[in-house]
Structure 1
Amino acid sequence: MVDGVTLTMGVAGSKLEKALGDHFPEGERYFGLENFGNTCYCNSVLQALYFCVPFREQLVEYYSNNKSQGDGDENLLTCLAELFTQISSQKKKTGVIAPKRFVQRLRKENDVFRGFMHQDAHEFLNFLLNHLVDILEKESHKAKNQALANGPSNGQVNGVKQEPMVTWVHKNFQGILTNETRCLRCETVTARDETFLDLSLDIEQNSSITSCLKNFSSTETLNAEDKFFCDKCCSLQEAQKRMKIKKPPRILVIHLKRFKFMEQLNRHKKLSYRVVFPLELKLSNTMEAADSEYSLFAVVVHVGSGPNHGHYVSLVKSHNHWLFFDDENVEMIDESAIQTFFGSAQEYSNNTDHGYILFYESIGADKY
């Protein structure tokens, strides 16, 4: 067993096996993750990513191709790939794994996560995906430089700007937004594309993901002090601005902005608003004619009344079963129970378990 990974098998594990019985998916593993002092933010996101199957498969393949490198080249990517490989290759179907090496590396890479304070799961997810991209890009550039040093340039023309590298992290999570601005004087439309790995949405009481997405793409008028400089008119003009999803990602990650800074309180407050997130989601405001359809497969839930304390758990769909991951504990839950994580219709409620990060997979996405 790799150093830093311990295994236990408890009552919860055997209970889960008993609950699934003959329906336990062939080759699948359901392991809880040990908490190393307020690392639930990390554990909940890792479970959601583990059950993003194409991403998991790429990591396991990466580990298989790079495991001979040794500890000298250890980084966050190798630690994550090692962890996912450890889980997927267990002989037992259920149990608990201690992701010690990954957590140690995370704390070494980013001092935000170095202490034992409560951290934000979305901030961790954002850091992790971007950091993995950085590592893959550096490895690609290193391999290209070595290839150039060892032989001819293979027809490369000096001075030609290279296209940005598209890693398998991009292929899974990256989408493209288009920021359109229309001058109201000359009707010229200026469009600027930008990439995203997740969408952060403002939320309102008693709303839905569909309405939040609609508000995200709603038209905003730029006037008074916010006028737009139109290149064609060569002057500041009133304009209309909107953000649209130009190219939807394979895995759509939606972050609900539940923590809002309240100036009168001089602190962040958690919004416990009821926001309905469907099991099946259609993106109808893309630039393409056809709708993009998605299926929900994971939810990271924040439990607690504020941003600086509380707990994170995750709900995961695997082989048509829904599972509840709470650090070391793994249980089966009914699909109907997901509704309890929508939020509260009242300002104050005893229920503090709210959906915070949603993971949707594109229906019918081609495997690459």
Structure 2
Amino acid sequence: MQQDAHEFLNFLINHINEIILAERNQSTLKLQKTDGTKEGVTCNGTLPQSQNSDPTWVHEIFQGTLTSETRCLNCETVSSKDEHFFDLQVDVDQNTSITHCLKCFSDTETLCNDNKFKCDNCSSYQEAQKRMRVKKLPLILALHLKRFKYMEQYNRHIKVSHRVVFPLELRLFNTSDDAVNPDRLYDLVAVVVHCGSGPNRGHYISIVKSHGFWLLFDDDMVDKIDASAIEDFY
């Protein structure tokens, strides 16, 4: 497969975060060396994991939190597990919208048969219902439409080319009951689009909002476009 824009985004965000943590590490070690203290430094000269895992501005801007809620159908006990994300990955269906994609992302899933849930309260595997909710909304929300899908009957990846209606403003509705600022309204500021019939060919273009104008970047070509034309690209 050609280089994927989503993979590059993850690489870039993680790499920037690693640089910030490395610089923070060096600054702290220099400060401790200057004042003669060694508290909080490990034997190999690095900061403890707790200090290295302190949030950076990357987390403050891009990181959100998902909570997985699982309800045992035997004892009705609800258990929750949180996980952080830098982007929300949603499946693409035919004749759909981004709102529908997000709804499907948070649809209740029944865990049964060979996929039963191990309930701590029952001390056994039980049928359960599971759903995903957004607990912490990031300042900047990155949505990944999963257009590259592995098809077992073809033994290869294919591109899902269904059109997805995408609004210029978006409010997430699939938030948890304890979500902070659940009514946050997001304005569309950029779209990265794969042009091509499959994952092994084509290239990417980007559409970016800058100073109230929409700009189309296609290799070394930059054109100004109307907001109404954005939907033509996805």
TM over 0.5: yes
Partner of 1:150: 34
Question: In structure 2, do the counterparts of structure 1 residues 227 and 153 end up closer, same or farther at CA, with 3 Å as the change threshold?
Answer: farther
**Which residues of 2 match residues 71-110 of structure 1 at below 5 A?**
none
**Which residues of 2 match residues 117-128 of structure 1 at below 5 A?**
118-128=2-12
Does residue 1:203 correspond to 2:92, yes or no?
yes
Give 1:155 deviation, angstroms: 8.9
Alpha-carbon distance in 1 for matches of 2:214, 2:192: 13
Alpha-carbon distance in 2 for matches of 1:235, 1:267: 38
Alpha-carbon distance in 1 for matches of 2:215, 2:173: 29
Per-residue Cα deviation, 1:201-240 (whole angstroms, up to 9, x for no partner) = 1010111111111111111111111111111111111111
| Contact 1:246–1:286 (Cα < 8 Å) also in 2 | yes
Does residue 1:140 correspond to 2:32, yes or no?
no
Give 1:290 deviation, angstroms: 3.8
**Which residues of 2 match residues 193-342 of structure 1 at below 5 A?**
193-287=82-176, 288=179, 290-342=182-234
Per-residue Cα deviation, 1:63-87 (whole angstroms, up to 9, x for no partner) = xxxxxxxxxxxxxxxxxxxxxxxxx
The structure in which a higher percent of residues are strand is 2
Per-residue Cα deviation, 1:300-353 (whole angstroms, up to 9, x for no partner) = 0111100011011110111111111112111100111112123xxxxxxxxxxx
Alpha-carbon distance in 1 for matches of 2:13, 2:182: 29
2:9 partner SS: helix
- The structure 1 segments of at least 4 consecutive aligned residues displaced by more than 4 Å after TM superposition are 152-156
| Contact 1:284–1:292 (Cα < 8 Å) also in 2 | no
Which residue identity does 1:189 align to in structure 2? V
**Which residues of 2 match residues 25-36 of structure 1 at below 5 A?**
none
| Contact 2:118–2:126 (Cα < 8 Å) also in 1 | yes
Q: Which has the higher contact order (CA 8 A, sep 6+)?
A: 1
Which residue identity does 1:234 align to in structure 2? S
Per-residue Cα deviation, 1:30-51 (whole angstroms, up to 9, x for no partner) = xxxxxxxxxxxxxxxxxxxxxx
Partner of 1:173: 62
Per-residue Cα deviation, 1:113-170 (whole angstroms, up to 9, x for no partner) = xxxx8311111111111111112112212222222232266997x9x98363111111
Alpha-carbon distance in 2 for matches of 1:265, 1:313: 28
Question: In structure 2, do the counterparts of structure 1 residues 161 and 317 end up closer, same or farther at CA, with 3 Å as the change threshold?
Answer: closer
Question: In structure 2, do the counterparts of structure 1 residues 305 and 142 end up closer, same or farther at CA, with 3 Å as the change threshold?
Answer: same
Unaligned runs of 5+ in 2: 43-47
Give 1:292 deviation, angstroms: 2.0
Which residue identity does 2:219 align to in structure 1? D
Which residue identity does 2:116 align to in structure 1? K
The structure in which a higher percent of residues are helix is 1
Alpha-carbon distance in 1 for matches of 2:202, 2:119: 48
Unaligned runs of 5+ in 1: 1-116, 343-368
Q: What is the RMSD computed on CA atoms of the aligned residues?
A: 2.2
Which residue identity does 1:279 align to in structure 2? L
Which residue identity does 1:162 align to in structure 2? S
| Contact 1:244–1:285 (Cα < 8 Å) also in 2 | yes
Alpha-carbon distance in 2 for matches of 1:237, 1:273: 37
| Contact 1:129–1:169 (Cα < 8 Å) also in 2 | yes
TM-score of the pair, normalised by structure 2: 0.89
Partner of 1:186: 75
Which residue identity does 1:282 align to in structure 2? R
Which residue identity does 1:232 align to in structure 2? N
